[in-house]
Amino acid sequence: QGGNNAGHTVVVDGKEYDFHLFPSGIINQKAISFIERHRKSKIQCQSLTNQHSCNPTFLHLLTGLKDWEKRLIISDRAHIVFDFHQAVDGLQEVQRQAQEGKNIGTTKKGIGPTYSSKAARTGLRICDLLSDFDEFSSRFKNLAQQYKSMFPTLEIDIEGQLKKLKGYAEKIRPMVRDGVYFMYEALHGSPKKILVEGANAALLDIDFGTYPFVTSSNCTVGGVCTGLGVPPQHVGDVYGVVKAYTTRVGIGAFPTEQINEIGDLLQSRGHEWGVTTGRKRRCGWLDLVILKYAHMINGFTALALTKLDILDVLDEIKIGVAYKLGGKRIPYFP
């Protein structure tokens, strides 16, 4: 995933956890969790999380887990999500609504603006935060001023933010490692089983998803290589995870959506609401066209079908099997 915009609920031994920045493997007392760039991964009872954007404030909100700080490693290459990135995310949504009559439906966690900073080569990373703080402060101020010039109503407490960031730097310093070398050792050292855990769906991929209603990173299997720095030849089995029906948070194309009592039933029985936003998920019948499309891109070697029991109360189940474009059936996802 690209940062704390995505959320997922994990239930272990009857206890429920809502994760945004951490991998589910953080629960495992024997695991080492690794936050890097795009994705999350798990290494033999050791969990490696890999993300692109790291919001330091979220690193100190995890409660109920013993000694999690000792099991967490952060890559020095992880980009930082600042408070003004999150504020700008919300302002951009307001602008889109005013100018185009519709928005993207982001979680307003600052992911898009952070990736914009990264692509413009003005972003700041963990390594910047932990090295020369005067240099970091200067670049932080320049970046803040850039956003203030674009959004005149944006208010940024620059000195206050820098003070907080300096404090975070010292708290996370013991956790920071060279992410590329960490993964290299994991791949070439003593034998380990590595599981890369993704949070966003294939159809939210910045390149292959339902653009522009997507996230800002590659959440398809290619993110394993670009996010973790894992060479392609090390990618083995690819597991697809799909519900027995289709859901979507926010706006965007959804051909099999059921805006009726069926959709309401799937929503209520499936407890379908966004972990990050609290929004109800849109629900509809299983769409095999997008599932096949996801397989084209990711090359699943196995498929996990979840929430099948939600459909138990229905006498009839429908499945989307094909799309028509211009009255003609097409074999691809348009």
Residue 297 and residue 333 in contact, taking contact as beta carbons nearer than 8 Å: no
70 is catalytic: no
What does the block give as tokens for 123? 């972003």
- Largest alpha-carbon pair distance within the chain? 66
Task: Assign 166 to helix, strand or coil.
Answer: helix
d(CA 177, CA 182): 7
Side-chain-side CA neighbours of 88 within 13 Å: the count stands at: 24
d(CA 291, CA 282): 17
Q: 83-100 and 111-119 helices cross at what angle (nearest 10)? A: 100
Phi and psi at residue 247, to the nearest 5°: -130, 160
What does the block give as tokens for 325? 């474009």
| Beta-sheet pairing, 15-19 with 8-12 | antiparallel
Q: Which of 42, 109, 118, 243 is catalytic?
A: 118
Residues with catalytic roles: 118
